Amino acid sequence: MKARSRGPNRRTTPVASTTSSATTAARRDRITALVRAIPKGFVRTYGDIDPSAPRMVGRVLAQYWANTDDHQESDIPWHRVVRADGSAPIGTRQLELLRREGVRMRGDRVDLSRARSGQTARSPRPS
């Protein structure tokens, strides 16, 4: 908890953190639900999952990729989430999983124009 001063020479009183654990848990559940909804053969970016907190998406997914190996499947398809430029933050391990699913690539990057799933905040509206 943070402390707020009441002025000079006064004791501090605790102030609740701006992010409650219930809000964080709800956001984590939303992130995992969105990642689970990405179809096989497609990807989304961290910003597609949560435009206001793409780094939080990474923190949530880190618990899944860190606890699996190449021969063990995770209960969440963490490998289907890539950076905005199509690069894979986990590297060759992630790229191999994406290739096995048939994700369209351009070299060592995902071809986002062909492999991105769903509407995104940055997608142009149809004419």
pLDDT in tens, the chain (127 residues): 455 445 555 554 444 445 578 888 899 999 999 999 999 999 999 999 999 999 999 999 998 776 666 545 678 999 999 999 999 999 999 999 999 999 999 999 999 999 998 744 443 333 3
Domain ranges of the chain: 39-115
Tokens read off for 116 = 């991105």
CATH code of the domain made up of 39-115? 1.10.10.10
CA pair distance 58, 47, nearest whole angstrom: 10
| DSSP single-letter state for residue 76 | S
Instruction: Determine the residue type at 40.
Output: K
